[in-house]
Amino acid sequence: MLTYVKSNLFESPAQVIVNTVNTVGVMGKGLAKAFKDIYPEMFTQYQALCEGNQLSIGKLWIYKTPNKWVLNFPTKQHWRSPSKIEYIEAGLKKFVETYSEKGITSISFPLLGCGNGGLDWEGEVQPLMEKYLRPLPIDIFIHLNDTKSKAEHININETKQWLRSDPSQLSFAEVWEDILETIQSPVLDKNYSVELVQDEYEEQLIFLSNGRHVVITKGQLADLWRYLRGVGFCTWQGLPSGLFDYGKLIFDFLSKLPYIEIISLSHQFSNEDDLKDGIRLKPGIQSKMSTVAEDSNHEK
């Protein structure tokens, strides 16, 4: 599924993140410079490939770490030259042909060839990315430019820690403990209250909001967590059966957990109005329960 997200590429939960490069071995500014700072070993190998004329337009090179892969995608030949739309298409064709054999199951793209590359997003690049990427049966995220999270301004040390961690290992048991703690917390929105009840079959959360009585079961929340943990993002369409009408309420409540936040995203994008609230796993994910356990271990 193709999803547009307004968040930092380096904070993506996807298996693979895409770096746009030239073919002469220079990562001098913008996104590529950030990749160079975070993965100096990758830059050294990339430079050697370029100097040996082994990386060219239409070829893709994957650099693998234990928790993240970086797909280096040539969008220009020389760093002084602009990107060309035919270069973007050549790379996208190669990606479609090879993603499966490379074992890619989810991937995050920047706006290929835009920004420093000089290509027009709406008129040139977006239609091409839609054409090649939307039909693919894997999770694909396109990261829209966000003035609050430019690559040039990221904290390199924090980003390294995030990229080299495995942020999707929390069990639902840990999440449920955090949910129960959040119910008692003053951080809850004043527009609703939450009560835990036990019916004949399972525990439920009862939300009272603007005169509405909304029931969400523990099982539904477990399904939602498994989806969010697996994909990293969740739109209204990703909500379990029966919860679609309560997306705003659910997203607001879950965003009170320390590792979930509300972001803007959409499965279709023509302008900013298409973006709706969704949720994602935050960088540096950790549950309150895990923190307590770690503190206890340190005390020993």
* C-alpha neighbours within 13 Å on the C-beta side of residue 11: 25
Mean pLDDT of 160-183: 73
Q: How far apart are CA 1 and CA 135, in angstroms?
A: 8
Which residues face 196 on adjacent strands?
A: 205
Which residues face 21 on adjacent strands?
A: 74
* Domain boundaries defined on the chain: 2-163, 172-295
Check pLDDT > 90 for residue 99: yes
Taking only the tens place, the pLDDT of each residue in 275-298 is 888 999 876 555 544 444 344 333
- Active site includes 276? no
Active-site position among 6, 76, 84, 282 = 76
Return the amino acid letter for 196.
L
Taking only the tens place, the pLDDT of each residue in 34-77 is 899 899 999 999 999 988 889 999 999 999 998 899 999 999 99
pLDDT for residue 119: 92
Q: How far apart are CA 140 and CA 14, in angstroms?
A: 8
Yes or no: say if 57 and 23 are a contact pair by the CB < 8 Å rule: yes
Taking only the tens place, the pLDDT of each residue in 3-42 is 999 988 998 889 999 999 999 888 887 888 889 989 999 9
Return the amino acid letter for 171.
S
In this structure, the chain runs to a length of: 300
Q: For the chain, what is the mean pLDDT?
A: 84
DSSP structural state of residue 53: T
- Tokens (6 digits) for 57: 């337009």
**DSSP-based three-state secondary structure for 167:** coil
Dihedral sign (CA 180, 182, 186, 191): negative
Q: How far apart are CA 49 and CA 81, in angstroms?
A: 20
Return the amino acid letter for 296.
S
Helices (H), the chain: 30-38, 40-51, 85-98, 126-133, 156-163, 172-183, 218-231, 247-254, 288-299
Q: What topology does CATH give the domain 2-163?
A: Leucine Aminopeptidase, subunit E; domain 1 (3.40.220)
Give the global pTM.
0.72
- φ, ψ for residue 111 (rounded to 5)? -80, 100
**DSSP-based three-state secondary structure for 122:** helix
Asked which of 121-125, 260-264, 279-283 is least confident by mean pLDDT, the reply is: 279-283
Q: Which residues contact 21 (CB under 8 A, 6 or more apart)?
A: 27, 32, 46, 55, 72, 73, 74, 75
